[in-house]
Amino acid sequence: MFTRSVARSSSALARGFASSAKANRKVAVLGAAGGIGQPMSLLLKTDPLVTGLSLYDIRGAPGVAADISHVNTHSEVKGYEKDDIKAALTGAEVVIIPAGVPRKPGMTRDDLFNTNASIVRDLAEACAEYCPKAYIGIISNPVNSTVPIFAEVYKKKGVFDEKRLFGVTTLDVVRASRFLGEIKGSDPKDIKVTVVGGHSGATIVPLLSQTAQGKDVSGEAYKALVNRIQFGGDEVVKAKAGTGSATLSMGFAGARFANSLIRALNGESGVVEPTFVKSPLYESEGVEYFATNVELGPEGVKKINPVGELSAEEQELLKACLPDLAKNIKKGVEFANQA
């Protein structure tokens, strides 16, 4: 059962949603009837900082809304489908987007591009029209490409604000702390692993050397841990045997990110979450968007933290990450700008 402890730790959701000064916060979930959308919507219903929850999907969202509306928390829930996206988005301050098709065995995030790219483009156009000032969190894969797609649509509409657009990479640090905790026999809530780069495969760069519990992991154990963090999604896809992907853990991570963002919007200081944003860190190398620890504030992105000192192994991981990430970003930009 979730508690209402006031906590600034980025692991707040693991112990119960952190709360801050009260404010009316309407959150819209686009793709609410899907495998990620349903558990995330349920978690958001239990978040004391969410006062209004607007659930949208092509079909099924009114049923999801009716179901979770029975949960005895104070937030109001409404469901919308098909052509009701205007009503779903009007007045939304935070929009979380898990819409799209899930991965299946043998698929990479890039394989999802052709389907999910058009879905994200269409949703970006709707958000630009009906809630252009909302803070947007994108879960739809491949995040390395869908965030640039969303940005390009907003640029065309003249409403792009780089401080209000986020790729939700929280699951990478959730996995990293959990997997490292397993190795060390420690409680994951006490482990903070910085993960930078992107949100797929080799573009995910865990900085274990910056974590007390991770500094001494070496050799084959280090390689196995890095691989598991980078390809943890494959582990779930395989285990579900074609029936789905990492939906429940992603729902948890998405709700955690939304909670952190709302706390920052409410004026809480020191709220830091990893997120894929427009960043100057590696822009000179063709990487316009990059995930790192970002301090959140009332404006959205308050401060983009540098990656810090890297070990030799991490430098090699980053070296491998950047070219792939640049290609992913370029693919998204080109899709959004095609005739």
Instruction: Tell me the catalytic residues.
Output: 199
Query: Residue 175 annotated as binding?
Result: yes
3-state secondary structure string across 167-225: EECHHHHHHHHHHHHHHHCCCHHHCCCEEEECCCHHHEEEEHHHCCCCCCCCHHHHHHH
Query: Residue 35 annotated as binding?
Result: yes
Query: Residue 67 annotated as binding?
Result: no
Q: Which of 242, 254, 99, 261 is nearest to 174 (CA)?
A: 254
- How many Cβ atoms are within 10 Å of 295's Cβ, its own excluded? 15
Query: Residue 79 annotated as binding?
Result: no
- How many Cβ atoms are within 10 Å of 248's Cβ, its own excluded? 15
Query: Residue 172 annotated as binding?
Result: no
Query: Residue 63 annotated as binding?
Result: no
196 CA to centre of own chain: 13
The beta-strand segments (E) located in the chain are 26-30, 52-57, 76-81, 94-97, 135-138, 165-168, 194-197, 204-207, 272-278, 289-297, 300-304
Query: Residue 4 annotated as binding?
Result: no
Q: Which of 162, 172, 333, 159 is nearest to 254 (CA)?
A: 172
218 CA to centre of own chain: 29
Query: Residue 36 annotated as binding?
Result: yes
Q: What's at 277, amino acid-wise?
A: V
- How many Cβ atoms are within 10 Å of 42's Cβ, its own excluded? 16
Query: Residue 109 annotated as binding?
Result: yes
Query: Residue 141 annotated as binding?
Result: yes
- Annotated binding residues for NAD(+), written as ranges, equal 31-37, 57, 116, 139-141, 250
Which residues fall in the annotated binding site for substrate? 103, 109, 141, 175
Annotated binding site: 31-37, 57, 103, 109, 116, 139-141, 175, 250
